[in-house]
Amino acid sequence: MISQYQESLLLPARTFQSGPMNTTYEDVLEHIDSGIMLFDEEGILTFMNKQMYSILELNRHSVLGCTMVHLLSNIQLSRFKKKQLLRGYHEMIKLGNPGYEFVDEYGRYWKVSLCSGEQMKGGALFTFKEISDYKLIEQTAYQNDSLAMLGKLSASIAHEIRNPLTAIRGFIQLLHPHLHQLGKEEYAKIILAEIDRANDIIHEFLTSSKPSVPQVAMIPVAALLKEVVLLTESEALMKGCEISLHPLHGDMIISGDIKQMKQVVLNMIRNAMEAITEKVDDSVGKIEVGARREGAEVRIFISDNGKGMDICTLDRLFNPFFTTKENGTGLGLSVSEKIIKNHGGYISVSSRVNEGTRFVISLPLIQ
């Protein structure tokens, strides 16, 4: 059922004449750090403060006298914000939720509250309070929490599985002479090899979820990239992608753990291949890998023309366990980010939906 107020929000625009508002209050509302939007009992927008115009990136006074529908069809309003406002409208007005989180295309967050009904004399007051800093702290806390939890979980799994494996290994060695007598020595060999393989898998899991202390060595960037591209070339070919390594100029040497560095670049190339296979058009998948010097740093880039990412994915892609893939663990990038931070560097990313993605790893160069 649509209420009378919901209906009135859908009415066409009408000429609006500003009411007799106390100028002092208007000044306060105008300069407050939250965005404010006031609709009257007929669903007409009667007031919007400076901050609100800036949040929505609208020209001053361009929307007064509009209904919500007209506000949503305003050509100055970006598509992204329209979607967000529509979702907020649905959640708060239709479903009656008291709050909503509004996020814009630049990744800034606002908590939207609605005050309506009797106390607003049938009108509706929307307040937008910025919570981007709080969100950042929340995300970092969540990330650290998940990593700590994963560390504990994997350590306890390793402990629980490694212990019985060691016992089995010992008993098989004791049985070895008897199996030899029976002419079944081969069995012992197979069991031992399989136990060692299981141990290796546990070790791999532990090191991939919690990067170990780097084994520092000098790494020529050109050799590192060449090797990783060689390693992935056949896989790329099978997935119908072309992978190319840009020619590198000059000697660029970084200091770090070569295994961990390879793991990072491999993670990104794998993600690029997966983004290409998930794209739903016939264009040829292309992955480009390269590096260039930028002052005292090297910028290693991995770019693809795959499916790209929307703002929500971009916001969360470094969070542990965040994945959009059916079989993904969501650990690839969170571990990569940790490795690069341990090496004194940082990762940046730019992406467009259906066009592609570019990851850039910046690391300090050895002078």
Ligand X SMILES: Nc1ncnc2c1ncn2[C@@H]1O[C@H](COP(=O)(O)OP(=O)(O)OP(=O)(O)O)[C@@H](O)[C@H]1O
Binding region for ligand X (CB under 6 A): 267, 271-272, 275, 304, 306-309, 313, 317, 322-325, 328-334, 357
Under rule CB under 5 A, residue 271 binds Mg ion: yes
Nearer to ligand X, 43 or 306 (CB): 306
Closest residue to Mg ion: CB criterion: 332
Under rule CB under 5 A, residue 290 binds Mg ion: no
Exposure of 9 by Cβ count < 10 A (0-12 exposed, 13-18 middle, 19+ buried)?
A: buried
Q: Nearest approach, Cβ of 270 to Mg ion (angstroms)?
A: 6
**Partner that binds at residue 47, options Mg ion, ligand X, none, CB closer than 5 to 8 Å by kind:** none
Total binding residues for Mg ion by CB under 5 A?
Answer: 2
Q: Near Mg ion by CB under 5 A, which window of 68-76, 267-275, 293-301, 310-318?
A: 267-275
Strand 241-245 with 109-116, pairing: unpaired
Strand 241-245 with 285-294, pairing: parallel
Nearer to Mg ion, 8 or 271 (CB): 271
Structure tokens given for 247: 């020619």
In the DSSP assignment, the letter for residue 92 is I
Q: Nearest approach, Cβ of 222 to ligand X (angstroms)?
A: 23
Q: How far apart are CA 233 and CA 242, in angstroms?
A: 8
**Cα separation values, 251 from 23, 241, 256, 258, 350, Å:** 67, 29, 16, 17, 27
Q: How far apart are CA 161 and CA 205, in angstroms?
A: 13
In the DSSP assignment, the letter for residue 12 is P
Nearer to ligand X, 128 or 318 (CB): 318
Q: Which residues contact 11 (CB under 8 A, 6 or more apart)?
A: 42, 43, 44, 67, 69
One character per residue 215-254, x = contact with Mg ion (rule: CB under 5 A): ----------------------------------------
Q: Nearest approach, Cβ of 15 to ligand X (angstroms)?
A: 48
Q: Nearest approach, Cβ of 51 to Mg ion (angstroms)?
A: 39
Q: How far apart are CA 256 and CA 167, in angstroms?
A: 37
**Partner that binds at residue 199, options Mg ion, ligand X, none, CB closer than 5 to 8 Å by kind:** none
Q: Nearest approach, Cβ of 230 to ligand X (angstroms)?
A: 20
Q: Nearest approach, Cβ of 122 to Mg ion (angstroms)?
A: 52
Apex 139 CA angle, 82 and 305, nearest 5: 60
Under rule CB under 5 A, residue 306 binds Mg ion: no
Under rule CB under 5 A, residue 332 binds Mg ion: yes
Sign of CA dihedral 280, 284, 285, 288: negative
Residues that bind Mg ion (CB under 5 A): 271, 332
